[in-house]
Amino acid sequence: MILIFCGLLVFSMQACAACTAVYVGSDVSSDGSIIFARSNDFQDVWANHIIVTPRVDNVSGRLMPVCNDGTVKTEIPATTYKYTATPFMNSTAAHSGTGRDATTCTNEYGVAMTMSVSAFSNNDSLEADPLIKNGLSEFTAVDLVVCQSKTAREGVDVLLGLIDKYGSSESNIAIIADQNEVWYVEMYTGHQYAAVKLPKDKVSVFGNEYSLEYLSDYEDSITSKDLISLAEQNNFAVHGKKGEINLFETYSGKQMTTEYSHMRTWMGHKFLAPSKFHTDYNHNSMYLLCFTPDEKVSVPDVCQILRDRYDETKYSPDETGRIDMRVVGSDTTLSAHVIQVFPDLPAEMSCVSWISSGPPLYGVFVPVSNDCINISEPYSANQPSEDWGVFDTDTYPYYVFKDLCTRCVGPNNYKVYGEPVQDYWQEAESNMFEGMSKVLAQAAKIKDNDTRASYITSYCNDMQNQAFKDGKQILNDVVWEQSKNSNSFKIKRNPETHQMTGEIVVIPPMEVKLDASNYKNVPALPG
């Protein structure tokens, strides 16, 4: 299915982004892995794919862009590391005015990073230290950091060093992890930031807003040298407990809190700790950055958060027909990713990225290991610049899952088409989560690194190919069913007399006639 369109691209990424992030410490995850996740949202057709960037040894003089338009570049080390990434396709990058945006990366040393969740600093702080037009961008930072970092702490130093040198063009939040620790970074203004090491026994969920209050609440922290003095000298510092500066109130504050972002933060707290956050949403509540979940948290739980639409609450747009709710599980999601880092595996195979190309609401998360040699043909396919405007569901997973979501979302569609599709993908994912666990356990026994990488790559590519094949079939079936059911006449009639009965026609849910057990296939060990 290929459609051609032309349009005028007018946007403000900072104003329109609606990303949501999740963190789960290894002590409170169901399998002992570190889990963190992010949805990447923007209302447009911006296609992405998955790539593996190879290691480069001893090649000096290479430059990478710092700002979106590439007018400012920085030199990278002579040796850079192999890493996976989920950038925009050439067709999108060439016409969006952005950088390629690596989005989420995992490297050969088990370092993983995602950025950004756009956040909003107050006027006082931005007047004192304005953002830098050609400073570091969310579209450039992740590549720059992960290609040259052997640990999460080193990654934090690289990120903050870039801000010190070039400044930041945006107010953002990043997460950087390795097998031992996870760092959370809030970037407020052109040169001011704070980073804290997240506790292993806590979880976090947040929308487009800052949540960090007191540095003393964390085991370790790093800040810009003028973070406190800038606020105090310009009279916008807000002090709280024991006279310590409250970073949230100082650099953001309740005046920047909006339902657009704050409700998604509330939902995440309510989802993971309903015993503590069982009350209704409160605009004035401060939902903590780190909190204790009621139960151990699994990867399927995190995937469900990224699909959540305030289900079973008065805010659900599907159940109430409301049009004023900004949910997490949106049809504007460009991609989403859930990253697992396993502390007990060899570093070079310790990361698994579960990637949804396009909206995960009615799409599927597929596995990509940091040990993968390559990515399957459909998921790695890169639409060329000259094909901008070609909505090609025959070739690219993003367009398949974007189209599926567009057709399944909303109060008129989700019961008939959306829920059966979602049920199928969740069964497929369940099989893949179990299968990936088995593959990693078996791969850890393989002594030869190349053989092990080939084994893991084979499994991941098989799952990606199966998902793309099934996605195309499901899209075809949804289009067929919607066409068959299309009828503006919604009242039942007597088939003999043709008289109207007054009853509204109710269309039954469609049936997905595919076999999710195909995702249970785990390859035998080589040899």
Q: Residue 271 pLDDT more than 90? A: yes
Residue 244 sits in a domain whose CATH number is 3.60.60.10
Q: Residue 34 pLDDT more than 50? A: yes
435-481 residue pLDDT tens: 999 999 999 999 999 999 999 999 999 999 999 999 999 999 999 99
Whether 49 and 357 have beta carbons less than 8 Å apart is answered as yes
How sure is the predictor about 513, in pLDDT bands with cuts at 50, 70 and 90?
Answer: very high
How sure is the predictor about 8, in pLDDT bands with cuts at 50, 70 and 90?
Answer: very low
Backbone angles phi, psi at 151, to 5 degrees: -140, 165
Q: Residue 11 pLDDT more than 60? A: no
Whether residue 480 is contained in a domain is answered as no
Q: Residue 12 pLDDT more than 80? A: no
Whether residue 33 is contained in a domain is answered as yes
Q: Residue 7 pLDDT more than 50? A: no
Q: Residue 44 pLDDT more than 70? A: yes
Q: What is the pLDDT of residue 496?
A: 87
Alpha carbons 37 and 486: distance in angstroms, whole number:
38
Q: How many other CB atoms are found less than 10 A from the CB of residue 197?
A: 18
DSSP state of 386: G
Whether residue 499 is contained in a domain is answered as no
DSSP state of 8: -
Q: How many other CB atoms are found less than 10 A from the CB of residue 250?
A: 25
- Higher-pLDDT residue of 96 and 269 is 269
The rounded percent of the chain whose pLDDT value lies above 70 is 97
Q: Residue 224 pLDDT more than 90? A: yes
Whether residue 84 is contained in a domain is answered as yes
Closest CA to 155 of 208, 200, 102: 102
Q: Residue 510 pLDDT more than 80? A: yes
Q: What is the pLDDT of residue 495?
A: 85
As a whole number of Å, the CA-based R_g of the chain is 23
Token pair 């310790």 in the structure block, residue: 350
Backbone angles phi, psi at 39, to 5 degrees: -100, 145
Q: What is the pLDDT of residue 5?
A: 35
Number of folded domains in the chain?
Answer: 1
Q: Residue 9 pLDDT more than 80? A: no
Token pair 């497929």 in the structure block, residue: 428
- Higher-pLDDT residue of 230 and 496 is 230
Q: What is the pLDDT of residue 96?
A: 87
Whether 175 and 192 have beta carbons less than 8 Å apart is answered as no
Cα distances (Å, whole numbers) of residue 3 to 112, 394, 401: 36, 11, 15
Q: What is the pLDDT of residue 6?
A: 35
- Higher-pLDDT residue of 501 and 86 is 86
Whether residue 491 is contained in a domain is answered as no
pTM higher than 0.85: yes
Q: Residue 284 pLDDT more than 70? A: yes
Whether 142 and 105 have beta carbons less than 8 Å apart is answered as yes
Q: Which two tokens stand for residue 506?
A: 């109710």
Q: What is the pLDDT of residue 17?
A: 62
341-354 average pLDDT score = 98
How sure is the predictor about 18, in pLDDT bands with cuts at 50, 70 and 90?
Answer: confident
Token pair 């780190």 in the structure block, residue: 290
Q: What is the pLDDT of residue 98?
A: 83
Give yes or no for a cis peptide into 356 (omega within 30° of 0). Answer: no
Whether residue 506 is contained in a domain is answered as no
The rounded percent of the chain whose pLDDT value lies above 90 is 91
Whether residue 93 is contained in a domain is answered as yes
321-344 residue pLDDT tens: 999 999 999 999 999 999 999 999
**H helices present in 68-149, as ranges:** 90-96, 123-128, 138-146
Whether 290 and 204 have beta carbons less than 8 Å apart is answered as yes
Q: How many other CB atoms are found less than 10 A from the CB of residue 272?
A: 24
Q: What is the pLDDT of residue 116?
A: 81
Q: Give all strands (DSSP E) within 358-498, no chain letters.
A: 366-369, 390-392, 491-493
Q: How many other CB atoms are found less than 10 A from the CB of residue 281?
A: 18
Whether residue 190 is contained in a domain is answered as yes
Of the ranges 100-104, 150-154, 275-279, 317-321, the best mean pLDDT one: 150-154
237-264 average pLDDT score = 97
Domain of 79 in residue numbering reads as: 17-385
382-392 residue pLDDT tens: 999 999 999 99
Q: Which two tokens stand for residue 238?
A: 């807000």
Alpha carbons 99 and 171: distance in angstroms, whole number:
17
120-175 residue pLDDT tens: 999 999 999 999 999 999 999 999 999 999 999 999 999 999 999 999 999 999 99
Question: DSSP string covering 218-285, please?
Answer: SS-EEE-TTHHHHHHHTT---B-GGG-B-HHHHHT-GGG--HHHHHHHHHHHHHH-TTTS-SPP-TT-
388-435 residue pLDDT tens: 999 999 999 999 999 999 999 999 999 999 999 999 999 999 999 999
294-306 residue pLDDT tens: 999 999 999 999 9
Q: Which is it for the CA torsion 416, 422, 428, 434, positive or negative?
A: negative
